[in-house]
């Protein structure tokens, strides 16, 4: 192993995963390719997560590969991943959540594919563990994020190069043909640094915005229709937690600020100056995705008047006296249309 620059940096944001992190680390010990480092960034965990990681480092043969960074102040997932990226030294970077795993051949396949194609991004599929335990709404979300759904290709098909036609990329992205999860992908680190690609400061969909930037800049984006990442479902994670007013506030914040961020990304790309339809595809996709979260909230609260009042309160903080108009438009967008087909896959 090259101690100065390992082939791959595995960035793991750590926060309250004491029941999961050990299996995550064991999946790395079992990798067939050994030329990697593990960058673990603890975001002020309040359980024994950090203790478990430190004990693993002291007693395991991966000790020289593990770099632990303990933050002094909780900064959220985007900050944690950005810190990990900044401290990484590998030629390539991959992101692994603290409760998930990689299959044993993952890093080997990642690197072999990247070298063969000289790719900036290698994009794979994920296996969702225990999906039957997920509520219907969450199964829908994960099917939307599925490589398998959009491409309809056999998971044993050979790797292939994503088109460089920007209109095709944006269309495929907007019909769920390119999943937006940051995990299950390998990135050339120099490519990320040169293009200033990092996670924006936003409360949800930060990985979508990160992956979107790579679609804008990567000349060689390779798709591998193979499941190399194991996602373990947790009821207590941010995505699956209690959907209350605070959750609704987060989703609306993402709708507003996420759209601004997407537009700022596209403003930097010449293609979008003459292809407004491609910009529309992206924004329409993003808003439909976020409206799914608020649609579930509306269904939960039942009485439309109560939901309207809740939206009014939240939107007033953003738009002041114009909040009523925005709330009305939002409510209409969430209202089920007769005989309409939802813009996301269902289990029917």
The 10s digit of each residue's pLDDT in 83-97 is 999 999 999 999 999
Confidence of residue 287 (pLDDT cuts 50, 70, 90): confident
Distances (CA, A) of 105 to 25, 111, 112, 292: 15, 10, 11, 35
The 10s digit of each residue's pLDDT in 154-212 is 555 788 999 999 999 999 888 767 888 899 999 999 999 999 999 999 888 899 999 99
* pTM: predicted TM-score of the whole model, two decimal places: 0.86
Q: What is the dihedral of CA 286, 208, 344, 203, to 10 degrees?
A: -70
Select the more confidently predicted residue: 110 or 239: 110
Confidence of residue 339 (pLDDT cuts 50, 70, 90): very low
Name the percent of the chain lying above pLDDT 90: 55
**Whether domain 8-232 has CATH 3.40.50.720:** no
Beta bridge partners of residue 101, listed in sequence order: 230
Q: Which of 80, 16, 12, 103 is nearest to 51 (CA)?
A: 16
The predicted model gives 47-59 an average pLDDT of 96
For the chain, the structural domain boundaries read 8-232, 245-334
- Tokens 């940096």 label which residue? 9
Q: Which of 13-17, 72-76, 342-346 shows the lowest per-residue confidence on average (mean pLDDT)?
A: 342-346
């Amino acid at each position: 192993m090259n101690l100065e620059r390992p082939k791959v940096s595995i960035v793991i944001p750590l926060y309250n995963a004491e029941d999961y992190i050990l299996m995550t680390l064991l999946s790395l010990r079992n990798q067939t390719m050994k030329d990697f480092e593990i960058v673990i960034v603890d975001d002020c965990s309040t359980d024994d997560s950090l203790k478990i990681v430190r004990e693993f480092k002291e007693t395991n043969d991966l000790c020289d590969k593990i770099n632990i960074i303990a933050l002094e102040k909780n900064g959220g997932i985007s900050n944690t991943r950005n810190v990990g990226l900044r401290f990484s030294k590998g030629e390539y970077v991959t992101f692994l959540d603290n409760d998930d795993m990689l299959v044993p051949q993952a890093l080997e396949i990642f690197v072999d594919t990247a070298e063969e194609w000289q790719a900036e991004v290698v994009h794979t599929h994920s296996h969702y563990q225990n999906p039957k335990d997920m509520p219907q709404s969450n199964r829908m979300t994960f099917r939307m994020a599925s490589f398998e759904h959009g491409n309809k290709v056999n998971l044993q098909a050979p790797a292939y190069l994503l088109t460089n036609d920007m209109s095709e990329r944006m269309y495929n992205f907007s019909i769920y043909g390119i999943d937006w999860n940051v995990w299950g992908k390998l990135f050339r680190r120099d490519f990320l640094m040169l293009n200033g690609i990092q996670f924006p400061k936003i409360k949800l969909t930060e990985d979508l915005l990160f992956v979107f930037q790579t679609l804008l800049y990567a000349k060689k984006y390779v798709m591998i229709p193979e499941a190399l990442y194991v996602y373990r479902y947790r009821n207590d994670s941010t995505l699956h937690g209690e959907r209350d007013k605070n959750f609704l506030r987060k989703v609306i914040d993402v709708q507003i600020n996420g759209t601004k961020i997407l537009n700022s990304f596209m403003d930097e790309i010449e293609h979008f100056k003459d292809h407004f339809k491609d910009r529309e595809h992206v924004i329409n996709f993003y808003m439909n995705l976020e409206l799914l979260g608020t649609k579930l909230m509306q269904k939960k609260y039942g009485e439309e008047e109560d939901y309207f009042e809740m939206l009014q309160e939240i939107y007033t903080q953003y738009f002041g006296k114009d909040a009523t108009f925005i709330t009305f438009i939002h409510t209409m967008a969430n209202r089920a249309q007769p005989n309409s087909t939802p813009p996301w896959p269902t289990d029917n």
